Amino acid sequence: MSLQADFEQAQADSKTLNTRPDNMTLLKMYALFKQGSNGDVEGKRPGFTDMVGRAKYDAWADLKGKSQDEAMQEYIDLVKELKENDE
């Protein structure tokens, strides 16, 4: 399978986990997914009243400069690890 196909499969697998990951893991998954899908973060950082949006933006911004392929592979590896621990 190609990296893109593995990435898409990991995305589907992430939705079938029996146990919801903790918030920090979810934030990491979000950031890796966005970096893998879109590349570096763009746009303005949400204001202080949007704490969730701000946390997501900051997590994604922390990955600035990481290649999309590298982010995809890290996302795939993280979802695989979560699936193995979920069984």
- Which CATH number does the domain housing residue 33 bear? 1.20.80.10
pTM score of the predicted model? 0.93
Nearest to 41 by CA among 51, 50, 24, 54: 54
Quick: pLDDT tens for 20-47. Answer: 999 999 999 999 999 999 999 999 999 9
Question: What is the residue range of 54's domain?
Answer: 3-86
Domain count for the chain, please give it: 1
- Give the pLDDT of residue 9: 96
Q: How many CB atoms lie within 10 A of CB 38?
A: 12
Q: Which residues, 6 or more positions from 33, have their beta carbon under 8 angstroms from its beta carbon?
A: 11, 71, 75
Quick: pLDDT tens for 52-61. Answer: 999 999 999 9
- Across the chain, what does the average pLDDT equal? 95
